[in-house]
Amino acid sequence: MRALIQRVSEARVTVEGAVLGEVGPGLLVLICAMRGDGPAQAEKLAAKIAKLRIFQDAEGRMNRSVRDLGGAALVVSQFTLAADTRSGNRPGFSTAAPPEIGEELYEYFAARLQAEGVSVATGRFGADMKVALVNDGPVTIWMDSEA
């Protein structure tokens, strides 16, 4: 699985003008299941993200996790993280998991992150979502369960 993690002051996702998920200080996690991924990859990534120390401590060093803060995570599915741009000008997405597997792993990832002690809000898999955020820092981290 691939994830793009952004430390945020706030973030929200809307579909057709309705807010589906919203968080204050914490993380925006854009997540993509790749072909061949399964529950093990979702568990590994959720555990790593819950413990990722990208929030400042009293000395101003990135030494605290979202879990340490009592922060929340907005988890949004984004198959475009699987983009292959090696040839041509139009990205290919053949490395993304098929939609039915992608949705299952997206939901499983969100549940595993919640089980790691992080409050989780979500978008809607496959929907045309609008994501608004205030990136804090800015801090943006790319993660891959296979890296």
C-alpha 95/C-alpha 72 separation (Å) is 29
Query: For the segment 75-111, what is each residue's pLDDT rounded down to a tens digit?
Result: 999 999 999 999 999 999 999 999 999 999 999 999 9
Active site residue 125: no
Band of residue 146 on the pLDDT scale cut at 50, 70, 90: confident
Residue-level pLDDT at 124: 96
C-alpha 39/C-alpha 106 separation (Å) is 10
Which pTM does this prediction carry?
0.95
CATH 3.50.80.10 is right for the domain spanning 2-144: yes
Residue tagged active-site, from 41, 55, 79, 122: 79
Active site residue 80: yes
Residue tagged active-site, from 6, 41, 55, 78: 78
C-alpha 49/C-alpha 82 separation (Å) is 19
Active site residue 78: yes
Q: Return the residue matching tokens 């994501």.
A: 131
